Amino acid sequence: MIQILSSRVKRFERGNDIVLYNPFSQQLFFTDRDDIERIGEEDLMRLNSLDVRMEPPKLRKVRVEATFGCDSACDYCLVYGNPLEQLHTAMSMETARGIIGFFNQNVREGSMMIIGGEPLTNWDVVEYLIDNIEGNAQLFTNAIKMSPKKAEFLARKGSRVYVSLDGMRRHNTHRRYHNGRETFDDTLKGYKMLQEAGISPSITCLSTQTNVYDLDEIFDFFVEELGCRAMGISIPHHTEFSHLPFMQTDIHEYTSQMAGIFKKARRGGIFVDQIAKRLAPIIQGYFRPYACKIAGEQVTFYPDGTQTLCTKLDTLPDFNGIKAEDLFNKTPYFDLTCQECEAISTCGGGCFWDAYHDGSGHDIRDCYFTRQMLNVFLWDISDFLKDRGMPITRDNLRKEYSVC
């Protein structure tokens, strides 16, 4: 049987149980040591299939740096922790009008990510952008300057709002005002204003060494105390502060915590970005070509309206003049060192910026996390559907893992 299985098919073992998985076609077969030699011809053909259509993506997303000013001074800030251009500048209304023209002509029905800095410090521009786009608006904010009027506007426009919060009070010590006072209470106040206006805010949580051992507890706090139904729990990107101990998140502990969170999230129907993006290809049956959308799906606008791919990569001479198609061709499908990886279709290659600073050319932390989570996903699917006597079909997977 080993001879007739393609090298693309990966074998996972746990006791007597075996999972055969083809990452290129997302085909799964669950068996055991006693029955593996009796796999039928039809199942073999399905497992060995190669069904990948790799095409450059179309532009679907615009990232707008509404301002590089901020009312906070978080000590892990990705903006102020790197030598970015146009720091402390804010977008003008004239520039915003030009971006709306570009969006409505080129990305109609797509999405606009409004970020910074802190976008609420440039509210007039943010309000104009949201009021005039022919698509979906996503606002990333610390919510400190939120008000009932702003929240009502965002609710009326159907905007998706993401609030930065790193857990309970004791976990938010890195999020402070310029005078050193913590922002926790004011962020919670803004978060609740959004809820009172009828918005269900998402939470963006950064896992540093300060809170990584408490992520499971933090997840419960977000869901049970704050009523959050969607969140992101990420690890820090590279900054000039990456050498500091609190920035060196233990990726093994992070992965262990996220594996536990996955079980809770699935049972409760809670969306966790870092889990769902890696699970969705298996459930929906597709090859995830890239993790970072600058490989063709997204462009960014600086506060002065200059168009780019990534404000961080712009600081690196090696990426001077690089195009989206160049980055697309650096993704795992085209990388010979990734071809034998069992997680090639769920990974997406991680972050180009972090891969550069790793020195290996790969986002090694992301590689580890994705491989480990793949193992968690496959055995969870095996146990979950087998316990219910359900066949492994795409429809059943989509039904039982609907959060993806």
Q: Distance from first CA to last CA of the chain, Å, rounded?
A: 33
- Of the candidates 401, 271, 287, the residue with the CA atom closest to the CA atom of residue 348: 287
- E strands within 183-317? 202-206, 230-234, 271-272, 298-301, 307-308
Report the alpha-carbon distance of residue 5 to residue 238 in Å, rounded.
Answer: 41
Rounded CA separation 358/348 (Å): 17
Interatomic CA distance for residues 298 and 62, integer angstroms:
5
Radius of gyration of the chain (CA): 22
Residues in Cβ contact with 126 at an 8 Å cutoff, skipping those fewer than 6 apart: 66, 114, 119, 120, 139
Q: Which element (helix H / strand E) includes 42?
A: helix 41-48
Which tokens hold the place of 167? 């857990």
For the chain, domain boundaries: 2-54+369-387, 61-284
Is 29 in contact with 39 (CB distance < 8 Å)? Answer: yes
CA-nearest of 79, 96, 197 to 146 is 197
pLDDT of residue 4: 66
All residues at 6 or more sequence positions from 2 whose CB lies less than 8 Å from its CB, including other chains? none
The pLDDT value given to residue 5: 77
The CA distance from 27 to 282, in Å, is: 8
Q: What is the pLDDT of residue 49?
A: 86
Give the H or E element holding residue 22. strand 17-22
3 state SS of 324: helix
C-alpha dihedral, 130 to 176 to 253 to 348, nearest 10° = 30
The residues, any chain, with a CB within 8 Å of residue 271's CB and separated by 6 or more, are: 202, 229, 230, 231, 265, 403
- Please name the fold of domain 61-284: TIM Barrel (3.20.20)
What pLDDT is stored for residue 1 in this prediction? 42
The mean pLDDT values, 10 residues at a time, for the chain of 404 residues are 72 94 93 87 87 89 98 95 94 98 95 98 98 98 98 98 98 97 98 98 98 98 98 96 93 98 95 97 95 97 98 96 96 95 97 94 97 97 85 86 78
pLDDT for the residue 2: 45
- In order of 222, 311, 321, the CA distances from 315 in angstroms are 35, 7, 12
Q: What does the pLDDT read at residue 404?
A: 63
Q: Give me the pLDDT at residue 371, please.
A: 98
